[in-house]
Structure 1
Amino acid sequence: MDTRKVIATEAALQLIEKLRSLHGPLMFHQSGGCCDGSAPMCYPQGEFKVGSQDVQLGEIGGCPFYMSRSQYEYWRHTQLIIDAVPGRGSGFSLESPEGMRFLTRSRPFTDEEMEEIDRAEG
């Protein structure tokens, strides 16, 4: 049973490694919509100011992954699966010049997984 809140595909992990070799330590923040849609945004570590209303869901490829607390309430019952696909990402996300973009897929947690998550979150 995999109850991690965020995981990455092999394609995403390969892109993360490439970006890390170019930019150093990285971080992710799941955008909340608006101009760039709802997309995982990749930044150099510390370049995006994480606030008290942000939740760290976990790590992908050794990089912390954050989301706003209000958005997390909507996504809480799903596992985010970060993928990398050909296309143009947001101008603010580091992968944009690489001809790739990060994409969020998801799957609902099972009832059993949610029980485990609820116990862990106390």
Structure 2
Amino acid sequence: MTKYLISFPSAAMDIPADELPAVASAAHAVVQEAKDAGVWVFGGGIDESVPPVMVDGGGLVREGTYPQTTQLDGGYSILELPSYDAALGWAARMAAACRCAQEVRVFQYDPAS
């Protein structure tokens, strides 16, 4: 089966503060559905209070990130599914729960893993 990344940026969740508990509850329910279905691999939100760093092959650490990814935030889920259509279905469930559109990406198959 193929792994899919389903994600959204933080800015997409333009939700009033008093509605956040309901959104969190709905999102947790979809995650539980994915776990119960045996398709959940991993998920979570980027901790935006911790700035990104770059680490090179020699172990040198510097602040920042690649210029094309200056903003990487929001929520991410990885599901292992039988088809692209199944990924779109799960993305729709997540979009309804989070009240924002979800981006779907396909991980390349790696025969060595």
- Quick check: which has more Rg, 1 or 2? 2
TM-score grouping bracket, smaller chain normalisation: 0.3 to 0.5
**TM-score scaled by length of structure 2:** 0.35
- Higher relative contact order at CA 8 Å, sep ≥6: structure 1 or structure 2? 2
Larger helix proportion, structure 1 or 2? 2
Normalised by the length of structure 1, the TM-score is 0.33
Which structure carries more strand by proportion?
Answer: 1
